[in-house]
Amino acid sequence: KAGVTQTPRYLIKTRGQQVTLSCSPISGHRSVSWYQQTPGQGLQFLFEYFSETQRNKGNFPGRFSGRQFSNSRSEMNVSTLELGDSALYLCASTRGRGGTDTQYFGPGTRLTVL
């Protein structure tokens, strides 16, 4: 069974640009969550999608947005990039059946903003 895949793995952008990151969950998984990891703030929750609906959102500005498609693939978008957006962006997928579901993480996308 293929794991969670994230594309691209590495990305370099300049301030003011926008970026779109993609996450393909494990087959059959319906929930996708996104996290931002930085040395200073650690791992912070961005948002969670379940069956194409955003179910949960972290404390991030409106420049951060996301969506989920009918095949459960998810994208997150960051507009008007700032230097502080440089981070490792991780997505995690879950079956979405509740209870003790395990979250499986992808390898992450390393975003560098210059």
Residue 102: exposure state from Cβ atoms within 10 A (0-12, 13-18, ≥19) = exposed
Query: Count H helices, E strands: the chain?
Result: 0, 11
Selected from 14, 38, 56, 112, the binder of other proteins by CB under 8 A is 56
Please report whether residue 7 would count as binding other proteins according to CB under 8 A: no
Footprint of other proteins on residues 57-86 (CB under 8 A)? 58
Residue closer to other proteins (CB basis): 79 or 96? 96
In contact, 109 and 21? CB cutoff 8 Å: yes
Per the DSSP assignment, residues forming a β-bridge with 89 are 36, 109
Does position 10 interact with other proteins (CB under 8 A)? The reply is: no
For other proteins, the binding residues (CB under 8 A) are 30-31, 33, 35, 42-43, 45, 48, 50, 55-56, 58, 88, 90, 92, 94, 96-108, 110
